[in-house]
Chain A
């Protein structure tokens, strides 16, 4: 019987680890002692009384734990979001080299898209195959580099410079899959199969959520960098759309290079300056993406009555840009509650 009490007490001790950090620091040891005392008393009344008390504790535990999380979260948030925004004001990427590496994804993408457009320049069916393939490869290469960079960063446990790369890689993967899916849909084909397509969609959402979740754990600035990575790829995809048939607007795609440079400067501002600079960088990024998309959308001659893709796409762009900072603002207090300050 003592063995049972010991085992149940150990299980309870493990379960108390689920409480928020501050709560378990202050009360877990006491709760375990009281629980053991309660079980020792119950065992005098028999085995069933012992299990009944254990079950009663177990039954109440989820509600008790959730209540503590909610109250702890509310208290942390009660100190004000501004506190979270302004705390650790000194955060920035220290090394200039690391800051430049963090800023590289839009520059690579911008120059890749512009250079690829220069090589192709004319409608795809009017040029030699080697030129089309070379141009396409040049456009795709930066995406591949960013993807590998993001993977490398994940292996290296996301060093400070890498959040834009990880974000870019995540969104790049989504856009890559979306492009293939659209191409296949033109022929009435699914990506793989109807069921697998749903699995792939869930997997992609899971990957993006993990990327955001992990960076949000570190704070809104890290998650903000991931968002800039998302927005970089989403924004650059607009230029690629302009080059697609039947528009063939390779001249517009040339704009990707200066836009990429400006985006890179904004990321540099984000990682090196204060919070004011970061907010400006996010706003400017959003504004620039919106302008680019309006320009690209203006060349589409949609049939009368067809729904415009502008608003949905702008919502996606804005969402991509804000999801990181918002998740970070929530993630930091959650982390404090779970792990302590």
Chain B
């Protein structure tokens, strides 16, 4: 599948994928990481996070990783990027880089942006 077909990503999805890029994380860790990555600008509610995760699981961009029982005694699940998810994240990053590069080029040429 061409990763370009899935672009652009919503901000929430981009940050979730970015959060999972270093390795698997469970739900709460993703939430905190997204807040940190976005300088507290994006704050995901539990419902929004799991809605997005469902779509990412359905699309095969992330997969579930069992982590055993958490502190609450409940079975804890983590999420990891799949190859498709990694490819999409890279494609989106490249797309945004090209946008920024275009803007910078105009800026350095003395134009207003």
Contacts and interface: CB of A to CB of B under 8 A. Distances in A.
Taking residues whose C-beta sits less than 8 angstroms from the other chain, chain A's interface range is 20 to 34
A64 B70 contact: no
Given A38-B28, A38-B31, A33 B76 contact: yes
B51 A64 contact: yes
A67 B45 CA distance: 14
Contacts of A56: 43, 45
B83 to A, nearest CB: 23
Nearest to A57: B45
Interface in A20-71: 23, 26-27, 29-38, 56-57, 59-61, 63-65, 67-68
B47 A33 contact: no
A67 B74 contact: no
Contact of B70 (A26, A33, A65, A67): A33
Q: Which of A57, A61, A64 has the most CB of B within 10 A?
A: A64
Contacts of B45: 56-57, 59-61, 64
A290 B74 CA distance: 62
Interface in B8-50: 26-28, 31, 43, 45-50
Contacts of A64: 45, 47-48, 51
B86 interface: no
Given A23-B54, A27-B54, A37-B28, A60 B74 contact: no
B77 to A, nearest CB: 6
B72 interface: yes
A32 B46 CA distance: 9
Contact of A38 (B46, B50, B51, B74): B46
Interface string B44-77: 0111111101100000000000000011101111
A45 to B, nearest CB: 13
Interface of A: 12, 23, 26-27, 29-38, 56-57, 59-61, 63-65, 67-68
